[in-house]
């Protein structure tokens, strides 16, 4: 790909469910759209997408391929690459890829998602998305009635334990380095959730499956799955040139890019959608938010184009009025002779 000589109406950065759905809305509105995607979706390790009506259990890769085909069907362009930076360029933007290629845009939709920072324990990263989990709505049904351990690794860990208790009666809470408060301990006890004190050393794995949790003192507690609270950090470094940065989320679960309910940021012309701004959004919610952002971007462009058209109309009308006035004056002078 060489640098585009024409400016696209919108460049969408990130080609996951959010980015593609936003691009689909824009392409169907007859906007020129370029989607730039690095090919590293957050849910790549998962076997299937869950909680998405009509696509329940579909492999994440298949969902994205279908989405790409739909965007292309309406004239959208998909470009494989990693965005290094985005900067203001006159009344638009220039987006530069890591390999030096670039494209200009009138508006930006950023749907870069987030990175899950996992607890630094042996076995966790290797089993992530398989039997090391985080979301009861994404993976809970798959571990129903099984032995589940919840590792205290974030401010939402007790809440996670209570949610997974809805799915199985066998839940163990590992206090690790974050022991529950007295109120939380009472909640766990009331729900029959066992609390194991002591620092966790590793997740035990045998024959390509998780078998338990090993503590520093050598104890091993048998478990079929382990739930962790990741620190969720928006992929926002590329926005620094625009003055946009991820900030700490009020809940303490990570960093996000603030925006209004339509995805509009504090930087004129830049919208965000999906996990980059809503850390807990599942696929359906992320895609819906991007559809809203796409519609808002189109409306914003329509108003800009209408203002330009009104200005041109007024100028033409003014020029025509002046010509008619001159013609009338000339006619009056002819009558004087």
Do the Cβ atoms of 241 and 86 come closer than 8 Å? yes
Which residue in the block uniquely carries the two structure tokens 């996670």?
Answer: 160
Average pLDDT, the chain: 93
Of residues 323 and 120, the one with the higher pLDDT is: 120
Pick the CATH number of 8-116+232-309 from 3.50.50.60, 3.40.50.300, 3.30.1780.10, 3.30.300.30: 3.50.50.60
d(CA 236, CA 246): 6
Q: Quote the DSSP letter at residue 169.
A: S
d(CA 46, CA 138): 9
pLDDT at 86: 96
pLDDT at 175: 97
d(CA 193, CA 300): 51
Tell me the pLDDT tens digit for each residue of 17-72: 999 999 999 999 999 999 999 998 888 888 899 999 999 999 999 999 999 999 99
Written as six digits, the tokens of 267 are 């930087």
- What residues contact residue 163 under an 8 Å CB cut-off, 6+ apart? 136, 140
pLDDT at 327: 63
> Is 228 in a helix, a strand, or coil?
coil
Q: Quote the DSSP letter at residue 239.
A: G
Give a three-class secondary structure readout of 284-333: HHHHHHHHHHHHHHHHHHHHHHHHHHHHHHHHHHHHHHHHHHHHHHHHHH
What are the backbone dihedrals phi and psi of residue 219, each rounded to the nearest 5 degrees, phi first?
Answer: -65, 145
Q: What is the DSSP string of 25-59?
A: HHHHTT--EEEEE-S--TTTTSS---S-TT-TT--
> Is 227 in a helix, a strand, or coil?
strand
pLDDT at 332: 56
Tell me the pLDDT tens digit for each residue of 244-289: 999 999 999 999 999 999 999 999 999 999 999 999 999 999 999 9
What letters, b where the CB count within 10 A reaches 16 and e where it falls short, cover 225-251? Answer: bbbbbbbbbbbbebbeebebebeebee
Percent of the chain with pLDDT over 70: 93
Do the Cβ atoms of 273 and 293 come closer than 8 Å? yes
Tell me the pLDDT tens digit for each residue of 280-334: 999 999 999 999 999 999 999 999 999 999 999 999 888 777 666 566 556 655 5
Domains 8-116+232-309 and 120-227 fall in the same CATH topology: yes
Closest CA to 67 of 127, 18, 8: 18
d(CA 149, CA 129): 15
Tell me the pLDDT tens digit for each residue of 160-176: 999 999 999 999 999 99
pLDDT at 329: 55
End-to-end CA distance of the chain: give it in Å, rounded: 71
The C-alpha R_g of the chain, in whole angstroms, comes to: 27
pTM beyond 0.75? yes
Identify the band that residue 1 occupies on the pLDDT scale cut at 50, 70 and 90: very low
Q: Give the CA distances from residue 298 to residues 122, 291, 302, in Å, rounded to whole numbers and listed in that order.
A: 47, 11, 6
Class of domain 120-227: alpha beta
**Domain map of the chain by residue range?**
8-116+232-309, 120-227
């Amino acid at each position: 790909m060489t640098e585009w000589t024409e400016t696209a109406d919108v460049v969408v950065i990130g080609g996951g469910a959010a980015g593609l759905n936003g691009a689909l809305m824009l392409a169907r509105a007859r906007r020129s759209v370029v989607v730039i995607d690095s090919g590293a979706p957050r849910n790549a390790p998962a076997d299937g997408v869950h909680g998405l009506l009509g696509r329940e259990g579909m492999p994440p890769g298949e969902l994205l391929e279908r989405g790409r085909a739909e965007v292309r069907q309406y004239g959208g362009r998909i470009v494989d690459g990693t965005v290094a930076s985005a900067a203001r360029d006159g009344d638009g933007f220039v987006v530069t890829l890591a390999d030096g290629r670039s494209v200009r845009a009138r508006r930006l939709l950023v749907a870069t998602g987030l990175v899950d920072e996992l607890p630094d324990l042996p076995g966790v990263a290797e089993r992530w998305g398989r039997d090391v989990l985080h979301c009861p709505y994404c993976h809970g049904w798959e571990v129903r009635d099984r032995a589940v351990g919840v590792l205290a690794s974030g401010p939402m860990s007790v809440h996670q334990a209570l949610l997974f208790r809805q799915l199985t009666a066998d839940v163990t809470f590992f206090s690790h380095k974050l022991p529950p408060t007295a109120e939380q301990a009472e909640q766990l006890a009331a729900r029959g959730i066992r609390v194991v004190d002591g620092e966790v050393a590793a997740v035990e794995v045998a024959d390509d499956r998780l078998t338990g949790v090993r503590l520093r003192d050598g104890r091993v507690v048998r478990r079929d799955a382990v739930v962790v609270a990741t620190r969720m950090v928006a992929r926002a470094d590329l926005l620094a040139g625009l003055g946009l940065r991820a900030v700490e989320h009020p809940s303490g679960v990570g960093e996000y890019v603030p925006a209004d309910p339509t995805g509009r940021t504090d930087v004129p012309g830049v919208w965000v959608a999906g996990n980059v701004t809503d850390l807990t959004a599942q696929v359906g919610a992320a895609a819906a938010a991007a559809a809203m952002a796409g519609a808002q971007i189109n409306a914003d462009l329509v108003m800009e184009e209408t203002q330009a058209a009104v200005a041109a109309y007024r100028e033409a009308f003014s020029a025509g009025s002046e010509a008619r006035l001159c013609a009338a004056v000339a006619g009056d002078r002819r009558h004087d002779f």
